[in-house]
Structure 1
Amino acid sequence: MYKNQLFYRYFAEWMYLYKNGAVRPITFSKYKTSLQSLKIIAPKVKLSDLDRQTYQKILNEYAKNHEKQTTMDFHRQLRASLEDALDEGIINTRSNTKSCS
């Protein structure tokens, strides 16, 4: 079920479940900003489509218009959601998320 879910939708559900109320409001607003960027950069990417190359293309596209530290923050947020997807069995192998480490 989740494997066919769009990555940005999974990220949105994940951030509202795990981060809303658990982090400061200013930090949560940064997650919202990352979500908006992910929607623009990868609107059709499904969790099942994610591999190292696809993930790196997302990061590269984001980096075109953002500073290195902002890009690293974006990466850390996306990576955290993908690590949870791995733990939950939504992503079956680490090979799907190796570029996230």
Structure 2
Amino acid sequence: MFHKGQNRIIDSYSAFFDNGHRQKTELDGWLRGQGIVELTVLGLATDYCVKFTVLDALALGYAVNVITDGCRGVNLQPQDSSQAFMEMAAAGATLYTLDDWRETQA
């Protein structure tokens, strides 16, 4: 298990870094140690933790799949999740529904 958000004065949406990219979690080192190069991400919240985790993973060189129907956003504005998905795709993530992703795993 890896912990994020250990500094009370800095938010940490990404599973890889705090929001200021000053501190890195142990996740990247562990994934690389396991030889993992492709990630599949889903969860809460689309427009915060999922988005920043995906963007950081892409910047670190991982191939990233996002299961869109496995995500839910905070959506302070109604379009926030849609915009987050567009940002992730524009950065290089591949977006799937769970059914479509399962077909790629067969």
Q: Quick check: which has more Rg, 1 or 2?
A: 2
If each structure's strand is expressed as a fraction of its own residues, which one has the higher value?
2
If each structure's helix is expressed as a fraction of its own residues, which one has the higher value?
1
TM more than 0.5: no
Q: TM-score, normalised by structure 1?
A: 0.30
